[in-house]
Structure 1
Amino acid sequence: MVEAEDLQSLKTIALLGGCRGPIWLSSQSLGNELGISPQTASRRLIALERQQFVIRSMKPDGQYVAITREGEQVLRREYADYVRIFNPEQRQYVLAGTVISGLGEGRYYMSLPHYKEHFGKYLGFEPFPGTLNIKLDATSTEVRKHLDHVGWIVVPGFTADERTFGGARLLPCRIRGHKCAIVEPSRTHYPSDIIEVIAACQLRKALNLNDNDTIEVEITHD
């Protein structure tokens, strides 16, 4: 549980531009923004850094502060709570993780006509024959456990050439503006902290992604 004063400080740093990169920030200037003493502001910054919500660096002209991915996730969770309060019909979730190499099965299954046809029908795009594999961080792994009630589209299994192929379910989402979907086969070899994402394009190439790059998946269900 994030302390209220830490959350307030983190939000103030974000409003000053801390989510977009390092910003010049002294204890005096943060204290002025928060209406507290420079000494208290300094303790707040130390607490945020200790929790890995911000990183600080010193330069000749002073201290620079940037919000980390963990800090941004704290703010996103707070935002999602307010969305549920003031717009209860809209549920928004953000999953964060790192890009990893898959087992190579996605390319084969995404090339099968049955899956291509149904995925295109339900998603409005013909998926690229392959998936982007993402290993979720600890927070997002927990969030994923609560997504079973959110807008999944069920695709039935089928039989072809005396072989039975399992069904799957799809969860529409977006990555950096690209329309995508999380695909979850009924038979999967992946643990719960790994998701597979499909899109009309090759996401690795379109977004210039490599293994270990961090990425966020935005899920909005109206």
Structure 2
Amino acid sequence: MVEAEDLQSLKTIALLGGSRGPIRLSSQSLGKELEISPQTASRRLIALERQQFIARSMKPDGQYVAVTREGEQALKREYADYVRIFNPERRQHLLTGAVISGLGEGRYYMSIPHYKEQFGGCLGFEPFPGTLNIRLDPASTEVRKHLDHAAWIEVPGFTANERTFGGARVLPCRIGGHRCAIVEPSRTHYPDDIIEVIAGCELRKALNLNDNDTIEVEITHD
């Protein structure tokens, strides 16, 4: 868990422009922004660097500091918490979790022509052959349990080449501006805290996502 004082320092660095690239920042100037001593500011910078939330480099004109991917993820988690506190209505339509690697089954099933046709017909986009797997945080897992009354779209099973393929249901959503859908096979083996998302593009590349990145899924129909 990130210490409150470290998070405050990280947020200040980001507000000063550190989330867009390296900025020149001394312990004295950070201390002035935070109203703390330069010595305390120096310790904060060391702590943030140790947690890999910032990267520091020295140049002839001074110290440069930039917020790393890990630092951005820490700030995004904090933002998601504030959304839940101050916008409870939106909270009912927002799931937050971490990107994880799947078992590769999504790529296989999303490559089957009949599945692609059915999903495309009900969602309005042809799904990319693969799914984005997300492990929900505890609060979102509870929200997920109450989505059974949302506007799920049923996709019936079918038989092809003497093999039976099970049905599924999909729930329209949006991630980072991309139209998506949570997909639940009728024979799922995933626990309640894991969801699979399909989209018309490869979301990992489109959104530059890596495992453990925090991500928000906004339900667009309920």
TM-score normalised by length of structure 2: 0.72
The alpha carbon displacement at 1:13 in A equals: 1.2
Q: CA contact under 8 A between 1:102 and 1:133: conserved in structure 2?
A: no
The alpha carbon displacement at 1:142 in A equals: 4.3
1:115-171 residue CA offsets vs partner (Å, 9 max, x unmatched): 6335642x3x2223512545x6xxx56467556236463535423356432233435
Find the aligned partners of 1:17 and 1:66 in 2 and give their Cα distance: 8
Higher helix share: 2
Which residue identity lines up with residue 164 of structure 1 in the other structure? T
The alpha carbon displacement at 1:212 in A equals: 6.2
What is the number of equivalent residue pairs in this alignment?
A: 212
Within 5 A, what are the aligned runs for 1:57-76? Answer: 57-76=57-76
Match of 1:203 in 2: 202
Q: CA contact under 8 A between 2:155 and 2:167: conserved in structure 1?
A: yes
Of stretches 66-75 and 175-184 in structure 1, the one that deviates more from structure 2 is 175-184
SS of the residue aligned with 1:36?
Answer: coil
Q: Is 1:41 aligned with 2:41?
A: yes
Find the aligned partners of 2:96 and 2:164 in 1 and give their Cα distance: 34
Q: CA contact under 8 A between 1:99 and 1:215: conserved in structure 2?
A: no
Match of 1:23 in 2: 23
Match of 1:218 in 2: 216
Q: Is 1:131 aligned with 2:166?
A: no
Match of 2:118 in 1: 117
Find the aligned partners of 1:142 and 1:205 in 2 and give their Cα distance: 19
1:64-116 residue CA offsets vs partner (Å, 9 max, x unmatched): 2222222222222221222122210112344454788945404433x215x63
SS of the residue aligned with 2:198?
Answer: strand
Of stretches 78-87 and 25-34 in structure 1, the one that deviates more from structure 2 is 78-87
SS of the residue aligned with 1:55?
Answer: strand
Assess, with a 3 A threshold, how the Cα gap between structure 1 residues 159 and 148 changes in structure 2: closer, same or farther.
same
Percent sequence identity over aligned pairs: 58
TM-score normalised by length of structure 1: 0.72
Find the aligned partners of 1:3 and 1:204 in 2 and give their Cα distance: 31
Match of 2:80 in 1: 80
Of stretches 141-150 and 68-77 in structure 1, the one that deviates more from structure 2 is 141-150
SS of the residue aligned with 1:16?
Answer: helix
The alpha carbon displacement at 1:5 in A equals: 0.8
For structure 2, which runs of at least 5 residues remain unmatched after alignment? Answer: none
1:31-86 residue CA offsets vs partner (Å, 9 max, x unmatched): 11101111100101111111222222222222222222222222222212221222
Which residue identity lines up with residue 125 of structure 2 in the other structure? E
Assess, with a 3 A threshold, how the Cα gap between structure 1 residues 166 and 94 changes in structure 2: closer, same or farther.
same
